[in-house]
A and B are shown apart, each in its own frame.
Chain A
Amino acid sequence: MNKFLLSAAFAASLSTGAMAQDVSGKLVLYTSQPNADAQQTVDAFTAKYPDVEVEWFRDGTTKVMAKLRAEFEADAPQPDVLLIADMVTMEGLEAEGRLMAYPEADVSAYDPAIMDDEGHYFSTKLITTGIVYNTVADMVPTSYNDLLKPEAEGNVAMPSPLTSGAATIHMAALTAHPDLGWDLYEGLANQGANPQGGNGGVYKAVAGGEQLYGFVVDFLPIREKVNGAPVEFVFPEEGVSAVTEPAAVLSTAQNPDAAKAFIDFLISEEGQQLAADMGYLPAHPGVPAPEGFPARDEIKLIEFSPAKALADDQQNKERFIEIFGG
């Protein structure tokens, strides 16, 4: 008991670089991971750090941010750790000084392009966006431009960048691609595409046969195809865009030690294996991709800069509204 008190006091006196066994207390997590995945992640973390009690709130990135914005406005942000869809949102928070730097985190194994230079946020997965189609469709798309063919007219579903973080990044990546650009989005609008809601809605529209093709995040069709859903996921020849589900410690964190331990856990090989077991492409290059995915080096990512995407964000969205009608 004394030893425990002592170590707790020791941990409190050292605000950084806490060691695993010293971490305790309440950790508040805001996440956009699906419920079951969030619970699994939390369970695995608390199994390792039994003295930490994790409270979590789960919703789409949009609503997580709305809640957080209201908390900022009232000057009482609650979460210690944020685990949300995309780096652009994280860049925005970093620019506002809302994130705590954690440069000591071990990111040596990772591609530097998906980590913040000063350690403000850490990518945990690669969630790519490509094309999904219903298996009743005659035309099998291999390129984004295939969706502009007459066979796809009136049959394209897509998530709205106004709603989904992944869709925002997909738009930023595709419109910056030399062979695609805004012509693709204008063409899709001419095909009668109706960007609606998030990825879940697109997946359902295609799986349910309301639409035959769509842009969607990889894990929905790949995971459900295993269960027999009438869908296929295509990695188009131009490549896929990716969100990286980054995690970050808030600068206002009440329990930075536990928050940092949580980050360490997410980017450890163990945490990465957990992500793979849940059916996601892990961000760690050493951890193999789960069933249904091609090997990591076969997946071609469209080049993408989160800082540029943040700078162009408003302009991109305005152009999108112009094309599709807000």
Chain B
Amino acid sequence: MANLSLLKIDGRGEAITLAALCVVAVVLFGLPLGLLVNVGVGNGPNLLVEALRDGSVQRAAWNSLESASLSALAATLAGTCLALTIGLTDVRGKGVVVFLLLLPMMIPPQVTAIAWVQALGPSSAVLKTLGVAPPPGSPHPLYTPFGVMLLLTVQHTPLVCLVVLAALRTLPREMMEAARLSGAGVFRVLRRVILPLISGSLVAGFMLAFVSAMGNFGILAILGIPARYTTLPVLIWRRLSSFGPSVLTDVAVISIILGVVALVAITLQRWLQRRMRAAVVGPPQLPLRIALGPMRPLAEGLLALYIAATLFLPLAALVATALVTTYGLPLNAQTFTLSNFAEVLFRQASTVRAFVNSTLTAGVAALFLAALSIAIAYFMSRRDGTHRRIGESLSALADVSYAIPGLVISIAFILAFIRPLPVLNISLYNTLWIILLAYVTAYMSIALKPVAAAYGQLDPALDDAARVSGAGFGLRMRRVFTPLMAPAAASGAILVFLTAYNEVTVSALLWSTGNETIGTSIFNFEDGGYTTLAAAMSCVTVVATVVIMAALDRIGRRLPPGVVPWRI
């Protein structure tokens, strides 16, 4: 009897949760994306067929696939090497290293691209000091498909590194220790035990990098356009600027193509992950510390070199730009000024508002998505067909909306939410809420990937055992899954926060007076020709992030290992 009633309650809790998830899916994914598809092919598929035949669309689609897959492959390789070095060996200063690895994500991609262009161009202070700066006007090495892919790789390596680090934490040490006790060498353990166990996360990391690269705009606009290497998001942006009344239709059609490419990639990923599923239970724990011996200085040196190249090089260029009176001058005693910082911090009210707004929206979106992904990924991992299908469709929708450029998401949101909501009669347009909801839609994929990968590692017997012992849905969620998933969900949430904190394309069309975001403020300075102000604001953003991350770090001391990703 008791058991029966528990099962009933269990069923209700699950049904309510599922229903809530479906409402979220319809409001945040179905409605905006549906309206967009309707704009694109509402009058029949002719436009879609026409677009598919169009030479420039085909070229852009190929370039998108090429740059996304090659850069994702490189990012997976680099990110996994970094994660394995940090997660499994006895290199020193792991916390600091992960912290510094994450920081480049805090500089908006378009600013990173600009900083790299400056750093390797004729006016590079670093190269000039070394005497190897190219002469003024010589072709830039980054304005090539290779340069595009290089920066995409650099941009997405930390993403993969974090996903793999989270997976390493849930790895049971016993298996590795057993293998080592049986006399297996480090590389053998790696090949036979660790890599197979984390293969699901490797695929997840690759897909995250792939989909991020597909949707990347900043790097592809700044490097890809001069390299004449047009990808789908850049093509969408170009079509947007042709002004004609049919612009939205064109944009919607190309977005549909981009969405379909993403869907195909996701299906492939699902298939791969199901084949690689390794069921092991493991609560998050401290990482291994395999002694590297004489190799340790070498490993540490390589880490330092990587950080110098990906963080200090662009950051130095950024700081130098923020400190000169006008762009193009070398930084010296005559040109040094703090007025750009004063302008950004004290004179313009909108920039201060932007910091508050971005912190709020990115923070709330991250927390909400962490909770959401624990629930969605639970259903994705169920063996029950219907539940799993709902979970997986949600995850597929999340991936599609992540691959679609932010600019298109904001157009879809305008279409969906410009009118007051029915029944409630509240208008979301021109409020912070619409930006927050757009973040949830655009970044759910980031939050979901690590959690889904972690569930994949979980033995289904755990759920069964809890059920048999009479634990209801709520209790199992609270006491079994949430603690086990917390590290993955937290790294997902932090990734969402870092991505949303600086993004520019999602809020580009959604901001309004009083509801500015950091990204749009920086972009508006840059676009209006105030490069030095844009650089100053980027510097302030990096400092603000460091402060926020330091605060998380303090909190992280009281939490289980792995919740704050850089606390090892």
* A residues adjacent to B (C-beta < 8 A): 33-37, 39, 54-60, 62-63, 65-67, 69-71, 73-74, 76, 78, 89, 92, 96, 134, 136-137, 154-155, 160, 162-163, 194, 196-201, 203-204, 207-212, 220, 223-224, 227-231, 313-314, 317, 321, 325-326
B280-320 contacts to A, CB under 8 A, are none
A35 CB to nearest chain B CB (Å): 5
A245 CB to closest chain B CB (Å) equals 13
Choice from A69, A137, A211 contacting B247 with Cβ under 8 Å: A69
* Interchain CA distance A134-B350 in the complex, whole Å: 33
Evaluate whether A208 and B118 lie within 8 angstroms (CB atoms) in the complex, with A194-B225, A230-B329, A231-B328 already known: yes
Minimum Cβ distance to chain B for residue A188 (Å): 14
Question: Distance (Å) between the CB of B42 and the closest chain A CB?
Answer: 11
B244 and A229 contact, CB distance less than 8 A: no
Is B390 part of the contact surface with A, judged by Cβ < 8 Å? Answer: no
CB neighbours (8 Å) of B242 from chain A are 162, 314, 317
Q: How far is the CA of A208 from the CA of B121 in the complex (A)?
A: 8
User: CB distance A76 to B418 under 8 Å?
Assistant: yes
CB neighbours (8 Å) of B348 from chain A are 35-36, 39
B425 interface contact, C-beta 8 A: no
Which partner residue on chain A sits nearest B240 by CB separation? A66
Verify B226–A196 contact, CB threshold 8 A.
Answer: yes
Q: Evaluate whether A69 and B248 lie within 8 angstroms (CB atoms) in the complex, with A74-B414, A197-B225 already known.
A: yes
Is B483 positioned at the interface, with any CB of A under 8 Å from its CB? Answer: no
Please, could you name 10 A-B residue pairs with CB atoms under 8 Å apart, sorted by A?
Answer: A35-B521, A36-B528, A65-B247, A73-B248, A194-B143, A209-B123, A209-B328, A210-B117, A229-B327, A230-B328
**Residue in B509, B528, B529 whose CB lies within 8 Å of A67:** B509
A210 to B247: give the CA distance in the assembly, Å.
Answer: 33
Extra pairs beyond A66-B509, A194-B225, A313-B243 (20, CB < 8 Å): A34-B524, A35-B524, A55-B513, A55-B514, A65-B243, A66-B247, A71-B414, A74-B414, A76-B419, A92-B244, A200-B531, A204-B114, A208-B122, A209-B122, A210-B117, A210-B122, A210-B123, A210-B137, A228-B326, A326-B56
On chain A, the residues within 8 Å of B240 by CB distance are: 62-63, 65-66
Does A227 lie within 8 Å of B528, measured CB to CB?
A: no
- Which of B221, B329, B525 lies at the interface centre, i.e. has the most chain A CB atoms within 10 A of its CB? B329
Partner of A70, one of B123, B325, B415, B530: B415
CA distance A326 to B60 in the complex (A): 10
Chain A residue at smallest Cβ distance from B133: A209
Q: Which residues of chain B are near A89, meaning CB under 8 Å? A: 243
B419: shortest Cβ distance to chain A, in Å? 6
Q: Which residue of A lies closest to B225 (CB)?
A: A196
Q: Which of B363-414 contact A (CB under 8 A)?
A: 407, 410-411, 414
List the B side residues contacting A56 at CB < 8 Å. Answer: 513
Residues of B within 8 A of A203 (CB): 529
On whether A163 and B121 interact (CB within 8 A), knowing A89-B243, A207-B328, A224-B326, the answer reads: no
Q: Which residues of A contact B138 (CB under 8 A)?
A: 154
Of the candidates B39, B139, B248, B512, the one whose C-beta lies within 8 Å of that of A55 is B512
Encode B322-349 as 1/0 by CB contact (under 8 A) with A.
Answer: 0001111100000100000000000010
Contact assessment for B137 and A208 in the assembled complex, using a CB-CB cutoff below 8 Å: no
Q: Which residues of A contact B241 (CB under 8 A)?
A: 62, 162-163
Min distance, Cβ A315 to any Cβ of chain B, angstroms:
12
8 Å CB contact of A204 from B139, B140, B509, B531: B531
Q: Judge whether A59 and B328 touch: CB under 8 Å.
A: no
Partner of B228 from the list A58, A223, A325 (CB cut-off 8 Å) is A325
Residues of the B chain whose Cβ atoms lie less than 8 Å from the Cβ of A136: 136
Chain A residues lying within 8 Å of B247, measured Cβ to Cβ, are 65-66, 69
Whether B430 sits at the interface, judged by CB under 8 Å, is yes
Residue of A nearest to B520 (CB): A59
CA separation between A66 and B410, bound complex, in Å? Answer: 10
Are the C-beta atoms of B325 and A228 separated by less than 8 Å? yes
8 Å CB interface, B516-556 against A: 520-521, 524-531
Quick check: B415 and A74 within 8 Å, CB to CB? yes
> From DSSP, what is the main secondary structure of chain A's interface residues?
mixed
Q: Is there a chain A Cβ closer than 8 Å to B501's Cβ?
A: no
Cβ-based interface call for B230 (8 A): yes
Using CB atoms, name the residue of chain A closest to B325.
Answer: A227
| Contact A162–B238 (Cβ < 8 Å) | yes
User: Of B122, B410, B530, which one neighbours A34 at CB under 8 angstroms?
Assistant: B530
- Expressed in whole angstroms, the minimum distance between the Cβ of B548 and any Cβ of chain A is 25
Q: Could you say which residues of chain B place their CB within 8 Å of the CB of A162?
A: 238, 241-242
The answer to whether A208 and B328 touch across the interface, beta carbons within 8 angstroms, is yes
- Pairs A-B, 7 closest by C-beta atoms: A34-B528, A207-B328, A227-B326, A62-B241, A70-B414, A209-B136, A155-B137
- Residues on the A chain within 8 Å of B238, using CB: 162-163, 326
Best-surrounded residue of A92, A134, A224 (most CB of chain B within 10 A): A224
Given contacts A57-B513, A326-B238, contact A229 B326 (CB under 8 A): yes
Within B191-246, which residues are at the interface with A (CB < 8 Å)? Answer: 221-222, 225-226, 228, 230, 238, 240-245
B32 to chain A, nearest CB (A): 11
Q: How far apart are the CA atoms of A198 and B529 in the complex, in Å? A: 10
Specify which chain B residues have a CB less than 8 angstroms from the CB of A211 in the assembled complex.
Answer: 137
**Min C-beta distance of B117 to chain A, whole Å:** 7
Residue of B nearest to A98 (CB): B245
Cross-chain contact of B508 among A63, A210, A326 (Cβ < 8 A): A63
Chain B residues within 8 Å of A73, by CB: 39, 248, 415
Is B497 interfacial (CB-CB < 8 Å)? Answer: no
CB distance from A52 to the nearest CB of B (A): 13
CA distance A126 to B279 in the complex (A): 69
- Set A55, A65, A154, A228: member contacting B335, Cβ < 8 A: A228
List chain B residues, Cβ under 8 A from A67. Answer: 410, 414, 509
Whole-angstrom distance between the alpha carbons of A154 and B530 in the complex?
Answer: 26
CA A67 to CA B410, docked complex, whole Å: 9
Contact with A along B107-144 (1 / 0, CB 8 A): 00000001001100111000000000000111110010
Given A55-B513, A59-B524: A74 and B419 within 8 A (CB)?
A: yes
| Chain A minimum-CB-distance residue to B114 | A204
With most chain A CB atoms within 10 A of its CB, the pick from B511, B524, B525 is B524
Complex interface bits, B422-445 against A, C-beta within 8 A gives 1, otherwise 0: 000000011000000000000000
CB distance from B431 to the nearest CB of A (A): 12
Q: Is the CB of A70 within 8 A of B411?
A: yes
**Contact call B329/A228, Cβ cutoff below 8 A:** yes
B326 touches A57 (CB 8 A): no
Say whether A58 contacts B524, CB under 8 Å: yes
Query: How far, in angstroms, from A220 to B529 measured CA to CA in the complex?
Result: 7
A160→B228 CA distance, assembly (Å): 12
Complex: A155 Cα to B511 Cα, angstroms: 37
| B246 nearest CB neighbor, chain A only | A69
* Cβ A70 vs Cβ B137 within 8 A: no
Contact, CB under 8 Å: B524 / A314: no
- With both beta carbons as reference points, the residue of chain B lying nearest to A313 in the complex is identified as B243
- Find the B residue at minimum CB distance from A213: B137
Quote the shortest CB–CB distance from A237 to chain B (angstroms): 24
Judging by beta carbons under 8 Å apart, are A70 and B121 in contact?
no
Q: Which residues of B contact A60 (CB under 8 A)?
A: 527
